[in-house]
Amino acid sequence: MWYGSEDLYEINCTEVLHEMQLYIDGELDPERAAHFAEHLERCSPCLEHSEFQRKLKAILRAKCRCASPEHVVRRVREAIRLEGRLPP
């Protein structure tokens, strides 16, 4: 389903659903975020989905406040370091 016009700056529902977490996390560039917000103002199904995702994220954040075991943290850091994404 697509809500919007043929304007090149319009984004469709599929794009919104694909980038929802980036938008919620504030990781979209400002121009893309503005177009995203415009879409949500016009599209109630996408707005409802974004509100659901925000609430779900808040619940998960509140419920998952336990610390990871140190051996797990070490293994993850080592894997990232081996990929060249973390300094030694």
Say whether pTM exceeds 0.85.
no
- Please answer whether residues 24 and 54 qualify as being in contact, where contact means their C-beta atoms are separated by less than 8 angstroms: yes
All domains of the chain, ordered by start, with CATH?
A: 13-82 (1.10.10)
Residue appearing with tokens 């894997």: 79
Count CB-CB contacts under 10 A for residue 14.
10
pLDDT at 54: 94
pLDDT at 3: 45
pLDDT in tens, the chain (88 residues): 444 444 545 789 999 999 999 999 999 999 999 999 999 999 999 999 999 999 999 998 888 777 888 999 899 888 888 887 656 5
